[in-house]
């Protein structure tokens, strides 16, 4: 018996087979291209998603040596927000407009104004629309491609196009649907008021279900293409962030997960609908019924460290011996550990690609502040890692302001491998930093949801408890002097952005 998780990413699709114990039987990843036809645009051909998914499914079945009939259920995850448009015959009308496309700033502002202002928009949709979201993209098509808009019959998110190709059914889940900016997030259903306000037909939208609910079954045609058995159930699944959280076991309030990838994501489950304020924190439906999640996104987390490695530290003696046979990041972090907290007055702002949380500011820029002749390569490395960590703490502090009690932070992504960085995060967050035995991300999370959907586990929390365990725990140092020094350094860091913001806008003018 096996469960199949499919994670449709921005650059590749991953298929993962696990057994009922949560053990990986096989995995396969297939890449596909990304198109940028104009500056700030980002698009993909949905047919590439399907070709990649078919290949990944066939590869994973072949690697595992099990027949498609042994796959009991399927879960879908993937990049969120992307606009996929189909006509009445199910044909794709145009390339999908992706989450990282930035063409819709004007439509976002128009949505807020039409709703009657930010407060009313939050009351209706919980989150203020931003260019990542789906509805502004749909309004852009209406304004700029009316000939295509007139032919729309179905609006799907990326992973839900794979569901359609697997089954012929149109469905999504409440978590991914939140990012369309058309959902009543509190009630976890499409908002008739938002649809009426923006003149979007309800008939275009798919069935919206909880993440573990069976929404479709593999068709005979898809079975022939993929090697799966016709009739195999497909659950709602979820977007990549909530799916990855399930894969880490972050399904209870108090457990926060921090992903240290190119971007940095702070994700926290909440078991009540909080009163959202004027905040950069976003609130989405979680993959667990009657549960939501708070999310903060730093655009250049590991990306800032990579930039430092490639542009500033490249060729430095500390890296010379590891360029080919070792880990340059370990060398940078080891050198950072030799420098006192606060990098002797050096601050780094990690806004190399603008920022999303806590500053909704695409014009924000990176900066070293306080450089002196005393500062060395190690000081620069320390400042960069502290700056990233302080930026992530910004999101946690915004969540704490909404009433969240942080009991544990589960770390994932490349940066989580560093014991030096984990200790720094524990001291800066003032919370235990843990690692878990699961490293397969969203594909693993939706495979668990598939198991819940067919009754293998009673609910998602039971599934996580059954297969996910903590393998490492890093506690705050317990030294009051360390806490005081980090508090002082964090306070200085917090002063730098407001001081430089006017300059940033002029530099980009």
State the pLDDT at residue 325. 39
E-only strand ranges, 193-235: 207-209, 214-217, 233-235
pLDDT per residue as tens digits for the range 86-112? 999 999 999 999 988 889 999 999 999
pLDDT per residue as tens digits for the range 409-450? 999 988 888 999 999 999 999 999 999 998 888 999 999 999
For residues 352-373, give the mean pLDDT.
91
State whether residue 36 is helix, strand or coil. coil
Second-level CATH architecture of 302-392+479-507: 2-Layer Sandwich (3.30)
Contacts for 483 with CB less than 8 Å, ≥ 6 apart: 427, 430, 476, 477
pLDDT band at 318 (very low <50, low <70, confident <90, very high): low
State the pLDDT at residue 315. 62
Tokens read off for 418: 């560093």
Q: Cβ(7)–Cβ(442) under 8 Å? A: yes
- With pLDDT > 70 as the criterion, what percentage of the chain qualifies? 97
For residue 250, pLDDT beyond 70 = yes
State the pLDDT at residue 353. 84
Contacts for 163 with CB less than 8 Å, ≥ 6 apart: 76, 169, 170, 171, 215, 216, 234, 237
CA distance 477 to 422: 11
pLDDT per residue as tens digits for the range 187-238? 999 999 999 999 999 999 999 999 999 999 999 999 999 999 999 999 999 9
CA distance 220 to 218: 7
Return mean pLDDT, the chain: 93
State the pLDDT at residue 60. 98
CA distance 275 to 350: 29
270 bridge partner residues? 292
CA 244 to chain centre: 8
**What phi and psi, each to the nearest 5 degrees, are found at residue 418?**
-85, 120
Q: Cβ(248)–Cβ(242) under 8 Å? A: no
State the pLDDT at residue 278. 73
DSSP string, 50-104: HHHHHHHHHHHHHHHT--GGGEEEEEEEE-SS-BEEE-TTS-B-SPEEPTT--TT
For residue 312, pLDDT beyond 80 = yes
Within 13 Å and on the Cβ side, how many CA atoms surround 409?
A: 30
| Of residues 384, 426, 429, 433, the one with CA closest to residue 412 | 433
Domain with CATH 3.30.420.40 in the chain: 2-242, 302-392+479-507
Q: Examine the residue annotation and report whether 240 is marked as an active-site residue of this protein.
A: yes
State the pLDDT at residue 438. 87
pLDDT per residue as tens digits for the range 152-178? 999 999 999 999 999 999 999 999 999
CA distance 441 to 13: 12
Within 13 Å and on the Cβ side, how many CA atoms surround 245?
A: 35
Q: Cβ(159)–Cβ(8) under 8 Å? A: yes
pLDDT per residue as tens digits for the range 48-83? 999 999 999 999 999 999 999 999 999 999 999 999
pLDDT band at 326 (very low <50, low <70, confident <90, very high): very low
State the pLDDT at residue 360. 83
For residue 314, pLDDT beyond 70 = yes
CA 64 to chain centre: 28
pLDDT per residue as tens digits for the range 464-489? 999 999 999 999 998 999 999 999 99
For residues 338-350, give the mean pLDDT.
96
For residues 394-412, give the mean pLDDT.
93
For residues 314-329, give the mean pLDDT.
58
CATH topology of domain 2-242: Nucleotidyltransferase; domain 5 (3.30.420)
Q: Which of 145-159, 273-287, 312-326 has the lowest mean pLDDT?
A: 312-326
Q: Cβ(234)–Cβ(216) under 8 Å? A: yes
Most distant pair of Cα atoms in the chain: their distance:
70
- Give this prediction's pTM: 0.90
pLDDT per residue as tens digits for the range 28-47? 999 999 999 998 899 999 99
Contacts for 362 with CB less than 8 Å, ≥ 6 apart: 102, 354, 355
Catalytic residue among 101, 240, 394, 432: 240
For residue 322, pLDDT beyond 60 = no
Q: Cβ(112)–Cβ(118) under 8 Å? A: yes
Within 13 Å and on the Cβ side, how many CA atoms surround 509?
A: 7
């Amino acid at each position: 018996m096996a469960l199949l998780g499919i994670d449709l990413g921005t650059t590749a699709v991953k298929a993962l087979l696990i057994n009922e114990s949560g053990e990986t039987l096989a995995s396969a990843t297939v890449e596909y291209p990304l198109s940028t036809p104009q500056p700030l645009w980002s698009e993909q051909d949905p047919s590439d998603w399907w070709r990649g998914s078919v290949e990944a499914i066939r590869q994973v079945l072949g690697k595992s040596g099990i027949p498609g009939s042994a796959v009991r259920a399927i879960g879908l995850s993937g990049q969120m927000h992307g606009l996929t448009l189909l006509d009445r015959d199910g044909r794709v009308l145009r390339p999908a407009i992706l989450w990282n496309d930035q063409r819709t700033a004007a439509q976002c502002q128009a949505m807020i104004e039409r709703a009657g202002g930010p407060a009313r928009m939050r009351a209706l949709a919980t989150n203020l629309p931003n260019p990542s979201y789906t509805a502004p993209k749909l309004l852009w098509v209406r304004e700029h491609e009316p000939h295509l808009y007139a032919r729309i019959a179905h609006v799907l998110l990326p992973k839900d196009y794979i569901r359609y190709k697997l089954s012929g059914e149109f469905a999504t889940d409440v978590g991914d649907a939140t990012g369309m900016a058309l959902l009543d997030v509190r009630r976890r259903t499409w908002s008739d008021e938002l649809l009426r306000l923006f003149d979007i037909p309800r008939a275009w939208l798919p069935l919206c279900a909880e993440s573990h609910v069976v929404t479709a079954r593999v068709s005979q045609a898809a079975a022939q293409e993929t090697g799966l058995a016709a009739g195999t159930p497909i659950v709602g699944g979820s977007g990549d962030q909530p799916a990855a959280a399930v894969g880490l076991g972050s399904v209870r309030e108090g457990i926060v997960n921090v992903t240290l990838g190119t971007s940095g994501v702070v994700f926290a489950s909440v078991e009540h609908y909080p009163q959202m304020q004027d905040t950069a924190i976003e609130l989405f439906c979680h993959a667990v019924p009657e549960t939501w999640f708070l999310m903060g996104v730093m655009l250049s987390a590991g990306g800032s460290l990579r930039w430092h490695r490639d542009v500033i530290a490249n060729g430095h003696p500390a890296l010379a011996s590891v360029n080919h046979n070792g880990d340059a990041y370990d060398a940078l972090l080891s050198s950072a550990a030799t420098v006192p907290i606060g990098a002797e007055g050096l601050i780094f702002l990690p806004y190399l690609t603008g920022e999303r949380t806590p500053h909704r500011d695409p014009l924000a820029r990176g900066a070293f502040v306080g450089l002196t002749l005393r500062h060395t390569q190690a000081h620069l490395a320390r400042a960069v890692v502290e700056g990233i960590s302080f930026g992530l703490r910004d999101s946690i502090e915004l969540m704490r302001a909404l009433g969240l009690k942080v009991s544990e932070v589960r770390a994932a992504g490349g940066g989580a491998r560093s014991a030096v960085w984990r200790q720094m995060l524990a001291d800066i967050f003032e919370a235990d930093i843990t690692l878990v035995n699961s490293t397969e991300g969203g594909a693993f999370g939706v495979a668990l949801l598939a198991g819940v959907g067919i009754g293998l586990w009673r609910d998602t929390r039971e599934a996580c408890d059954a297969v996910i365990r903590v393998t490492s725990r890093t506690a705050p140092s317990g030294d009051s002097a360390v806490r005081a020094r980090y508090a002082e350094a964090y306070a200085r860091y917090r002063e730098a952005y407001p001081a430089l913001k006017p300059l940033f806008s002029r530099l980009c003018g």
